[in-house]
Amino acid sequence: MPEEWLKTAEAAEISGYHPNHIRRLIRAGEIVARKWGSALMIDRQSLMDYLKKVETQGGRRGPRHQG
């Protein structure tokens, strides 16, 4: 299956995360992204793998809110 790349906004829409949280996940090495010109593109499979990992750990989609 060929790699599929998503814009940050698309990854945010799929995951339910805010685009800033997507960028934090990239910096933390949780999901794979590449910069093409000025565009930051996220590897769809790495995003889906991360979401599955969070779900199996009992997490939820969307960033955690400190309370």
Domain membership flag for residue 61: no
The pLDDT score that the predictor gives to residue 3 is 74
pLDDT attached to residue 21 = 95
**Cβ–Cβ contacts within 10 Å for residue 60, how many?**
9
Domain that holds residue 17: 5-56
Check pLDDT > 80 for residue 1. no
**HEC per residue, 46-57:** HHHHHHHHHHHC
Examine residue 25 and state whether it is found in any structural domain, yes or no.
yes
Q: What is the pLDDT of residues 15-58, one digit of tens each?
A: 999 999 999 999 999 999 999 999 999 999 999 999 999 988 88
Amino acid residing at 19: P
Tokens of 3: 């790699």
Count structural domains, the chain: 1
Does residue 64 carry a pLDDT above 90?
no
DSSP H stretches of helix in 1-67: 8-15, 19-27, 44-56
Residue 63's pLDDT band (boundaries 50, 70, 90)?
low
